[in-house]
């Protein structure tokens, strides 16, 4: 989005870098200057504030490959050129200062069509389209602001890692930008791994007086040693002894960040059955999930000879059935 005032602004000089500066060196230099002149570090210093805006504008243009290319093309025209609005200077809409000075004339009235120019071996093919956003005058994305108004500042992306409970319950965090600026972000309850949170107005400032951009924060959630997210539900695997599952029992089940709750296991409960505790899952403004307790029957690893004998006697009393018969039949189709 080329701007008329680019002719008079040497962004490379503002940042103190060469025209062939690398992206990494540009970023490093900008961060150093931003920390030096940031308003938070220079309260009441109007000159420092003006300098901060100046270096922010320079970095905003030079850090964007497309804008940097357009900027270099504009600067190649020379600092004496000016754009004037159609009708302000007469006949041809005010572009004579730019193209007349460079190319000794130009298309002129009535000479429609695309032009290709060359200066010192460099092509200026379709320069109007390149400089002015393909001719989108009056739009916020075009070269002239016009009716579109000032352009919004660029969005800033960041990442943060949260523990499982913080992501589930919600919290307020303070993040620090590369310029040393602190940003407070409210983490909503129930934020999921990989979710993006947009914080309005916390991005880069506008280069022409428009609103600042936004902060887009991507959240990574650490795994919990016991609980897993299942939408708004919390899932936990609960070990149950063979005797408890066979005869029935009341067991304790852990909850996230609270006291355990009692849960009834019915007689004959198989491994894998899900027992539900209403309202003990993830709580958000819109809804609350449940706690899902998945039964896992555990088998003793060691038996005394007496216990083994009694278990064999118990097995002899069971019906002569194979619980895998149905599985094998279904597998055969």
How much is the pLDDT for 237? 96
Residue 70 has pLDDT above 60, yes or no: yes
Q: What is the mean pLDDT of residues 114-123?
A: 37
pLDDT in tens, 39-56: 777 878 888 888 888 888
Q: Strand 228-230 vs strand 233-241: parallel, antiparallel, or unpaired? A: antiparallel
The pLDDT of residue 131 is 42
Q: Is the pLDDT of residue 277 over 70?
A: yes
Q: Give whole-number Cα distances, 169 to 50, 257, 261, in Å.
A: 42, 9, 19
Least confident of 40-54, 62-76, 86-100: 86-100
Mean pLDDT of 310-321: 87
First-last CA distance in the chain: 65
The predicted-structure confidence for 212-228, as pLDDT tens digits, reads as follows 999 999 999 999 999 99
**160: nearest Cα among 146, 180, 140, 177:** 177
**Which residues, at least 6 apart from 47, have a Cβ–Cβ distance to it below 8 Å?**
none
Chain CA centroid to CA 315, Å: 59
Q: In whole angstroms, what is the distance from residue 244 CA to residue 153 CA?
A: 63
- Under the banding of pLDDT at 50, 70 and 90, the label for residue 5 is low
Instruction: Give the integer Cα–Cα distance in Å for 236 and 289.
Output: 13
pLDDT at 331: 93
pLDDT at 257 over 60: yes
| Contact yes or no for 101/80 (Cβ under 8 A) | yes
Mean pLDDT along residues 273-299:
94
Residue pair 169/258 in contact by the 8 Å Cβ criterion: no
Distance CA 169, CA 256 (A): 10
Question: Residue 109 has what pLDDT?
Answer: 41
d(C-alpha 189, C-alpha 202), whole Å: 21
Beta-strand runs (E) in the chain: 118-119, 122-123, 156-162, 171-176, 182-187, 196-199, 215-221, 228-230, 233-241, 249-255, 258-265, 274-277, 291-298
Query: 66 is written with which tokens?
Result: 């497309």
pLDDT at 90 over 60: no
Distance CA 154, CA 170 (A): 27
Work out the mean pLDDT of the chain and round it to a whole number. 78
Residue 333 pLDDT level (bands cut at 50, 70, 90)? confident
Q: What is the mean pLDDT of residues 275-297?
A: 94
The confidence score (pLDDT) of residue 48 equals 85
**pLDDT band per the 50, 70, 90 thresholds, residue 196:** very high
Average pLDDT on 143-164 reads: 76
| Highest averaged pLDDT of the listed ranges 117-121, 219-223, 298-302 | 219-223
Compute the C-alpha angle 40/45/50, nearest 5°.
90
* Residue 288 confidence (pLDDT): 94
More confident residue, 220 or 118: 220
pLDDT tens digits along 19-33: 899 988 998 998 889
Higher pLDDT among residues 13 and 103, named by residue: 13
pLDDT of 134: 41
Please determine, for residue 211, whether its predicted confidence score (pLDDT) is greater than 60: yes
- Asked whether residue 113 carries a pLDDT value surpassing 90, the answer given is no
Alpha-carbon span 219 to 195, nearest angstrom: 6
Task: With H, G, I as helix, E, B as strand and everything else as coil, classify residue 1.
Answer: coil
* Of the candidate ranges 15-24, 97-106, 255-264, 278-287, the one whose mean pLDDT is the lowest: 97-106
Q: Which of 251, 255, 220, 259 is nearest to 234 (CA)?
A: 255
Q: Residue ranges of the alpha helices (H) in 170-280?
A: 242-247
């Amino acid at each position: 989005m080329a701007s008329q005032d680019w002719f008079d602004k040497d962004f490379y000089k503002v940042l103190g870098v060469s025209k062939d500066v690398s992206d990494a060196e540009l970023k490093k230099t900008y961060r150093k200057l931003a920390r030096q002149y940031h308003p938070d570090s220079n309260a009441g210093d109007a000159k420092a504030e003006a300098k901060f805006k100046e270096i922010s504008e320079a970095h905003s243009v030079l850090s964007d490959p497309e804008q940097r290319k357009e900027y270099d093309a504009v600067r190649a025209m020379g600092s004496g050129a000016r754009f004037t609005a159609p009708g302000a200077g007469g006949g041809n809409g005010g572009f004579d200062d730019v193209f007349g000075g460079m190319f000794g004339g130009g298309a002129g009235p009535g000479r429609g069509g695309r032009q290709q120019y060359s200066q010192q071996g460099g092509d200026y093919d379709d320069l109007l389209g390149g400089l002015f956003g393909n001719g989108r005058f009056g739009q916020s994305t075009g070269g002239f602001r016009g009716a579109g108004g000032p352009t919004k500042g660029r969005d800033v992306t960041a990442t943060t890692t949260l523990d499982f409970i913080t992501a589930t319950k919600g919290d307020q965090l303070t993040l620090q930008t590369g310029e040393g600026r602190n940003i407070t972000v409210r983490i909503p309850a129930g934020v999921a791994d990989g979710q993006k949170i947009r914080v309005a107005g916390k991005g880069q400032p506008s280069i022409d007086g428009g609103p600042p951009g936004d902060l887009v924060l991507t959240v990574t959630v650490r795994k919990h040693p016991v609980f897993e997210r299942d939408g708004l539900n919390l899932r936990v695997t609960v070990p149950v002894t063979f005797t408890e599952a066979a005869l029935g029992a009341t067991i304790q089940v852990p909850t996230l960040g609270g006291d355990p709750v009692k849960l009834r296991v019915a007689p004959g409960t198989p491994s894998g059955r899900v027992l539900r505790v209403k309202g003990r899952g993830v709580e958000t403004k819109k809804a609350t999930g449940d706690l899902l307790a998945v039964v896992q029957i555990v088998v003793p690893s060691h038996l005394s000879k007496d216990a083994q004998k009694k278990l064999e006697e118990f097995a002899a009393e069971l019906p002569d059935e194979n619980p895998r018969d149905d599985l094998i039949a279904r597998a055969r189709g």
